[in-house]
Structure formats: C-alpha cells, structure tokens
A and B are shown apart, each in its own frame.
Chain A
Amino acid sequence: MSRCKWCGTIHSNTLTIHALVRFELQPDTLCFQCREKLESLNDQLTCRGCSRIQDKTDYCPDCLSWQKTYQGHTHIHEAMYAYNEFASQIIEQFKFTGDCAIAELFVKEVKEYFRKIGQTALIIPIPVSRESYSTRGFNQTELLLAVSGVTYNSVLVNRYQCGRQSGKNRKQRLESPQPFEIDPCHGELIRGKPVVLVDDIYTTGRTIYHALDLILPMEPSSIRSFSLFR
C-alpha cells in the first residue's frame, strides 16, 4: 500500500506486467486512476523527429521545416507523455504552485531513459530565467534530473532577467530571440561528446533549437533531446 503522490489516494498499484518482469516491486508513485490519465507516447504512432502524435511515424511538417533550416542536422527529440489536460495540471502544480515533490512522480521514467543513453553523455538541462528561478527557488528540469540521480551540467544559462514561454502563442514563441548563452566555464566540455538536452515540455521546438544554435558549433559528437511532455 502506498499513497498516490498526485491525488493522495491510498492504493496498491504495484503489480504491472512490466514490474513483474523486472522484479520491481516498488509501489507506483501514482494510483491506478491517475496513472491512466497519463497518455504514454511510446505506444502510439508519433513523429520520429519530435514525438508528436500523428497517424504515421514519418517526420511531421514542423520537423521537415526545421530540417530545411538546419541542413546536415536531423534532430531527434523524444518525449514520454502527451501534454494533455492532466499533464498541464501536473506542470501547473510543479512549476507555478512550486510543488517540488512532483519531480518524484517521474523518477522511474527519467532513470530508464538515461540508463539507455549511457554514462558518457553530457546532459544539459534547459535553464529558466533568473526571475522564475528566484520566485520558485528551483529549475524544474534540473530537479527532475536530480531526484532521478542523473548527473547533469548546467552548460546553458538564461541571459534574461525575466520572461517565460508559457503564455505566449505559437507565433510569438517561434519568433522569440535567442534567450541562452553558454557558460564559458563549461563550454569546452561539449567538444566530441554526445549531448542530451533536457526540458520539461516540448511545444514548438523553438527552445530546443535555440539551444542547438549554441551547442552545434561547439562540435559535439552527437546531439538529441528529451522532455517529459510533448
């Protein structure tokens, strides 16, 4: 028996087939009802470039247009769950209400992803503005990684005092200028290394491609990205 970290219900949601196969008898962080509301992208047809839900696995029009801009780099972004109504409630509670423990909901998924990525990769979280950082006291992406025991490097820093992507419409997001710069102390780490960029949500891809603009010239051996939601 354990308590659902989202709704507080006492539950015994342990024995999924997956858990049995892997001898994981840790109780789930979510109760059955809440777990069901998360829409996994793994078992659906999604764009191979950005995990968007569609009826085939080919690159979606957005990815094709990014590819045109970034000749020579075909970017692969992987996301775990659809950014549905439930996901937006979770993110709201996590980032804006400041409920840090939400990070613990996804430890299993994050661990699993980075176990496959391997030890050598340089893991770079997307930074938040200084204003968001000081009112919240944390960067949600760093916290997600930290509670999952994933070592990361804060290579990117946010140049801006304030401003955030949520609340902007698609056009405003796509037109937003480069918000990041590379922390000179860490810049040299990138060369020749496989890099994984991490964010909480992937919406238009603008944020990730801004980060790419800075990191690609530093010649990593490969680069991909990961987010919890898409």
Chain B
Amino acid sequence: MDLTNLIGRELLLSDLLTEYTESDLSGCTFRPAFHSAKRRAQCNRCGSFSKLTEIYPCICGNNCIYCRYCIQLGKVRACDKLVTYEAADLFSKKPVPYLKWQGSLSEQQEKASKEIVLSIKEFTDRVVWAVTGAGKTEMLFKGISEALEAGKRVCVASPRIDVCLELAPRIQAAFPDIQTALLYGGEESVYIYTQLVIATTHQLLRFKEAFDVLIIDEIDAFPYYQNEGLYYASEKAVKKQSSTIYLTATPDTKLQRKIVKGQIEASILPARYHGYPLPVPKIIREKDIFSMSDISASKACRQILMLISRRQKFLLFIPTIRLMDSILPALRRFFSTTRFESVHAQDPFRKEKVESMRKGELQFLITTTILERGVTFKNIDVIVLAADHDVYTESALVQIAGRAGRSADYPEGKVTFYLEEWTRSSKGAVQQIRQMNRQAAKKGLLL
C-alpha cells in the first residue's frame, strides 16, 4: 500500500481505517489522542485542554473525553490514536527557477524579500510587519521559489479562509509548474501530497513535522486566546529545523514585545506602496448614536449628510448586527433618497452587495466588522460608530482604518472614529498608525 499521502500528516486512526487496513499502517507511528497534563487532558492534535470530568458516552461503549476545540476536523476521542508516517520528503533539488512572476518590487519590499530569503536559508523565524496596503504577497515569492528549488516543502497558511482563497490563484500563477494543494474547511477535496500547500491554519492541525518553510498571513486575524491554538498548530506542523515567517499588519502586544526585545527578527514595512502615509483616524467624541431618540441632530449624521452631498463614497462600521438592525430603520427614513446597503457575516447577499459597492452603485455600505480586512474599495472614506465598543480590538481598528486611502488616486481617504470614551483599543490603534507613519517618514519612504 502506498503511504505517500501520509508523509507529514498526523491523522486519526479511526479515520484512516476507512481507507487503509491495520496492516497497511504497520510501519506508522501511533500515539494516544490525549495525554494528561496539569490534572487535565490535553488533545494531542490541537493542544487544547479538557477537564478530566468532561466525559461523555462514546462509540467505544465507555465514557470518553473528546476535544471540543478541533471537533470541526473530526472528533478526537480519548480512546482513539493519532497516526504519523515518518518518512523523508520526496522532493529533489532543481537548478531551474520556479518563479514565473515578472513584476517588480518597491525599495522596502525588495529589502524585506531579501530578508525573507535569508531567514528561509538559515532556518530562522521572522515577522514581516507591513502596513495595510504595503503589498505583502509579492515579497514572499523569492523566498518560496528558492525553498522549492532546494527541495523544501512549503506551506502558506492563514487563519482566514477568504485570505487563503485570495492567495491561492496568485501563488499558483507565480509558480505554474508546481502542484499546489489548497486545504480549507469548505468543500473537502481529496488530499494529495504536494510540495506547496496553501491552507487555513486550522488545517495545519492535520500535519506534523511536515514543512521546512511555513508562512502565516494575517496572524492577527483572531483575538489572542484563539491565537494560542494557532501557535500550537504552527509549531507542530513544521520540521525541527525549519523557518516560520509571520505576516501581519497589526501584531498583537505579545509579538510587538518580542520584536522590541529582539527575540524574533522583524522586517518592518511602514509605508504603503504608493508612498502616502496611512490615514490617521479623526476622533469625534459623541454619546453613542444607538441610544439617541433622534439621530438627526448627531454629529455622525451631519457628517454622513455632508459626504452624501459631496458624493464621497464611504463605509460605515457598526459594532454588532443587533445595533445595525436597531438603527437601520432610522437611517432608511433619514437617507431615503440615497442608495445604500447593509451587510453582515450571515448575509446571504453579502457578495452581491460588496460587488455593487465596488462598482460604485452604492453611495455607502453599512457593515459589521466582517469587512475589516481583505476587501478593498477604491476612493472611500471610513466612519466607525461606537469605536469604543468591546468588539473592536486594536488590530481590528487598525485594519478598518486601513480600508481608506488604498489607491494612489485617492490616498488621502478620511477615517473618523465616533466614541464616547477612549478605550485601550482605540488609543492603541491611533498610536500604532501614527508610529508607522513616523517610521516611514524617518526612512524616507513617503512622497
């Protein structure tokens, strides 16, 4: 039986037995699905802890612990085993360059690209801290190419499916001769063993000591407590000697501290590709609009009216769906002659609405945090209502502000945060944006 597909994987025995027999797997290494640690049970697939008392009726006929945290990848039960096949990778060195991408890099991109190549060569880790709109993907190409040519196995991962789906075609186009596997939760395609893998970080849990190079994009996409799982997954998925490259526009405080202390090497790209500074949010102090009986007198409404009269397109961020629902009727009444839409994560017409905003058919789009990253519109302003709400982390606010001024045609897009009280997140976000602009100016990267 050919076990090539198992190289670098770590899978559940119960799942494998639907495809392989016990004797097929005789050359594999088995370990229990859980081990006990600190009077709790730790899942060996995802690293999460369960209480020893959390036992439930199980297919084995007993009561077993199972892992709730990685259950979307299939249920890990305490009576199951994790299986790895410890064999060397089958990729050989190639003297020909794999990279077919023809574009050029800006000065700061070129520098970061070289640093990435070096990290990969020397098996060291690196953070690439690049502001929104700096153009991150292109500067990875050189490093990926050299790794592939050296016969290394490479994975590009992101916590967000939409980021993976956006990256995949760009990477495939840059490396047309390399077979790529795209792994994400959605439509489960048949897994094949490939030298280049694009995957959600969740899918990394199905790998063990698989990659020589792991590149993780948008590591800041989730709040910290979910990131613990991400670090576990990435550490498990890489080989003992390997290089992990973290890409982020807004590193969390833990990572920022590591950078400052020099515990991890960093490439910092403080400027956008077009050379204009990041728009710094303007703060307007106002009682939150959702508790007003008459919104028409609010500063926020007056600003919206002003933007409409100037035909300036904009995004209006609202913290939650519930607040969005509560204010929509008033907005519809108030701006009855203006074309606008509202979107949220569960909206079945999300794609269509975003598309019609992009085409310029809408004057503005009201959104929850789902449009905080990834989606880019040309020539827009950004307004955040209740920017002091709990849902907004520092990184979310930096990302939201980063929606404005993306294109060279309208680099001075305006960002306004309405808030009643400063929060740690809102303060941190404004500081972070200012700091990047200062750095960019100091390095002479601004026009």
Contact present for B57 and A100 (CB under 8 Å): yes
Query: In whole angstroms, what is the CA distance A137 to B54 when docked?
Result: 15
| A99 and B59 contacting across the interface, CB-CB below 8 Å | no
CB neighbors of A among B215-243 (8 A): 225-226
With A10-B225, A134-B59, A137-B59 given, is the CB distance from A98 to B75 under 8 Å?
yes
A36, CB-defined interface residue at 8 Å: yes
B75: contacting residue among A8, A33, A97, CB under 8 A: A97
The complex places the Cα of A101 from the Cα of B57 at a distance, in Å, of 11
Question: B59 near A135 (CB under 8 angstroms)?
Answer: yes
Which one of A8, A100, A135 has the highest number of Cβ atoms from chain B below 10 Å of its Cβ?
Answer: A100
Interface residue? A143 (CB, 8 A) = yes
- B58 at the binding interface (Cβ < 8 Å): yes
Contact B68 A138 (CB under 8 A): no
Within 331-362 of B, Cβ neighbours of A (below 8 Å) are at: 346
Contact of B322 among A36, A93, A101, A135 (CB under 8 A): A36
Within 8 Å of chain A (Cβ to Cβ): is B284? no
Determine whether the beta carbon of A101 is less than 8 Å from that of B68. yes
Asked if B291 is at the interface (CB within 8 A of a chain A CB), the reply is no
Q: Which B residues lie within 8 Å of A85 (CB)?
A: 346
With A10-B225, A100-B66 known to touch, is A138 a contact of B71 (CB < 8 Å)? Answer: no
Q: A33-B320, A36-B322 are in contact. Are A98 and B57 (CB under 8 A)?
A: no
List B contacts of A36 (CB < 8 A): 322
- The reply on B56 being an interface residue by CB < 8 A is yes
CB <8 Å contact, B72 and A138: no
Interface string of B300-316 (1 = CB under 8 A from A): 00000000000000000
Residues of B within 8 A of A111 (CB): none
Tell me the complex Cα distance, A136–B59, Å: 6
> Which residues from B are CB-within-8-Å of A135?
59
Inter-chain contact A143/B57, CB cutoff 8 Å: yes
Please state if B71 and A99 are interface contacts (CB–CB under 8 Å).
Answer: yes
**Nearest opposing residue in chain B for A98, CB measure:** B75
Contact status A143-B72, CB under 8 Å: no
Q: Would A101 and B75 count as touching, CB distance under 8 A? A: no
A97–B59 CB distance below 8 A: no
Q: How far apart sit A209 and B57, CA to CA, in the bound complex (Å)?
A: 28
Given contacts A10-B225, A33-B320, whether A137 and B71 have CB atoms under 8 Å apart is: no
Complex CA distance for A36 and B323, rounded to whole angstroms: 13
B206 to chain A minimum Cβ distance, whole angstroms, is: 17
| Contact count band on B | 10 to 19
B60: interface (CB < 8 Å):
yes
Cβ contact of A97, chosen from B58, B60, B71, cutoff 8 A:
B71
Whether A99 pairs with B57 at a CB distance below 8 angstroms is no
> Could you tell me the distance between the alpha carbons of A143 and B346 in the complex, rounded to whole angstroms?
30
Within 8 A of A (CB), among B386-436: none
Q: How far does the Cβ of B159 sit from chain A's closest Cβ, in whole Å?
A: 14
Given the complex, which residues of B lie within 8 Å of A97, measured CB to CB? 71-72, 75
A136: chain B residues at CB < 8 Å are: 59
Distance, CA A100 to CA B54, complexed state (A): 10
What is the total number of residues of chain A having a CB less than 8 Å from a CB of chain B?
17
Bound: A101/B322 CA distance, A: 27
- Taken together as a complex, chains A and B put the C-alpha atoms of A85 and B72 apart, in Å, by 19
**Which residue of chain B has the shortest Cβ distance to A33 in the bound complex?**
B320
CB-nearest residue of chain A to B69:
A8
Interface string of A125-140 (1 = CB under 8 A from B): 0000000001111100
Question: Inside 8 A of B68's CB, which chain A residues have their CB?
Answer: 99, 101
B59-75 residues with Cβ-Cβ distance < 8 A to A are: 59-60, 66, 68, 71-72, 75
Given A10-B225, A33-B320, A36-B322, check contact A101 B54 (CB 8 Å). Answer: yes
Residue from B72, B75, B320 with most neighbouring chain A CB atoms (10 Å): B75
Q: In the complex, which residue of chain A has the Cβ closest to the Cβ of B322? A: A36
**From residue A23, how far is it (CB to closest CB) to chain B in Å?**
25
CB of B59 within 8 A of CB of A100, answer no
Q: Which of B30-73 contact A (CB under 8 A)?
A: 54, 56-60, 66, 68, 71-72
Which residues of A1-42 are within 8 A (CB) of B? 8, 10, 33, 36
Q: Which residue of B lies closest to A146 (CB)?
A: B57
Complex Cα distance, B347 from A85, in Å, reads 12
**Contact digits for A74-103, partner B, Cβ 8 Å, 1 yes 0 no:** 000000000001000000010001111100
**B322 proximity list for chain A (CB < 8 A):** 33, 36
Give the nearest-CB partner of B58 in chain A: A137
Residues 98-121 of A at the B interface (beta carbon under 8 Å):
98-101
Contacts of B57 in A (CB 8 A): 100, 137-138, 143
Minimal beta-carbon separation of B78 from chain A (angstroms): 12
In the bound complex, do residue A137 and residue B72 qualify as a contact, i.e. CB atoms below 8 Å apart? no
Given A36-B322, A137-B60, A98 contacting B225 (CB threshold 8 A): no
Is the pair A100, B56 in contact by a Cβ cutoff of 8 Å? yes
Cross-chain contact A98 with B72 (CB below 8 angstroms): no
A60 to B346, CA, bound (A): 32
Question: Nearest Cβ in chain A — how far from B56, in angstroms?
Answer: 4
Q: How far is the CB of A151 from chain B (nearest CB, A)?
A: 16
In the bound complex, residues from chain B placing their C-beta under 8 Å from that of A93 are 71
CB distance from B17 to the nearest CB of A (A): 14
For A134, the chain B residues whose CB sits under 8 A away are 59
Nearest CB on B from A80, distance (A): 22
Taking a contact as CB atoms under 8 Å apart, the answer to whether B225 and A138 are in contact is: no
* A138-B320 contact given A10-B225, A97-B71, A99-B68, CB 8 Å threshold: no
Q: Which 6 A-B pairs have the closest CB atoms?
A: A100-B56, A137-B59, A138-B57, A137-B58, A98-B75, A99-B71
Residues on A facing B (Cβ under 8 Å): 8, 10, 33, 36, 85, 93, 97-101, 134-138, 143
A-B contact pairs, 16 of them (CB 8 A): A8-B225, A33-B322, A97-B71, A97-B72, A98-B71, A98-B75, A99-B71, A99-B75, A101-B68, A137-B56, A137-B58, A137-B60, A138-B56, A138-B57, A138-B58, A143-B56
Q: A36-B322, A97-B71, A134-B59 are in contact. List 10 more A-B contacts (CB 8 A).
A: A33-B322, A85-B346, A93-B71, A99-B68, A135-B59, A137-B57, A137-B59, A137-B60, A138-B57, A143-B57
